[in-house]
Amino acid sequence: MATTEEIQSGLAEILEEVAGVLPADATPEKSFTEDLDVDSLSMVEIATAVEDKFGVAIPDDELANISTVGDAVSFIEKNQS
């Protein structure tokens, strides 16, 4: 089981790789679309990468409810097995 810190840094790595977001910018309160300029298709790529990295699937309907980096971290934390 990954710790909150590990999830946060792992997610930051994915964000950098998929959407070119600087790790320092990927703080919990940031909105993917508003603050980090991540569009809906990049969100799908992030969801796929999260699944590969943490073994947590994020279906499209759940993905729609994730708006900030913090939302994503807590979703992964809650659903990792």
Partner 1 sequence: MTRRLSARAGAPGARILGFGDYRPRRIVTNEEISQRVDTDDEWIRTRVGIAERRFAGDDESVVDMSVAAAGKALATSGVLAQDIDTVIVATCTPPAPIPGLAPEVAHRLGIASAGAFDLNAACAGFCYGLASAADAIRSGSSQNALVIGAEKLTDWTDQDDRGTCIIFGDGAGAAVVTATDSPGIGPVVWGSDGEKSRAISVADRSSFMEMDGRAVYRWATTQLADSAHRACKLAGVDISDIDVFVPHQANLRIVDSMVRTLKLRDDVAVARDIVTSGNTSSASIPLALTAMIERGEVKTGDTALLLGFGAGLTFAGQVIICP
Binding site for partner 1 (CB under 8 A): 39-41, 43-45, 47-48, 60, 63
CB 44 → partner 1: shortest distance, Å? Answer: 5
Q: Which is nearer to partner 1, 6 or 34 (CB)?
A: 34
11 Cβ contact partners less than 8 Å away, ≥ 6 residues apart: 26, 50, 69, 72, 73, 76
Q: What count of Cα atoms within 13 Å lies in the side-chain half-sphere of residue 81?
A: 4
Shortest distance, CB of residue 48 to partner 1, whole angstroms? 6
Q: Using the minimum distance from each CB to partner 1, give the nearer residue, 20 or 23.
A: 20
CA–CA separation, 25 vs 23, rounded Å?
5
Distance CA 19, CA 65 (A): 19
Smallest separation, CB 36 to partner 1 (Å)? 14
Nearer of residues 8 and 42 to partner 1, judged by Cβ: 42
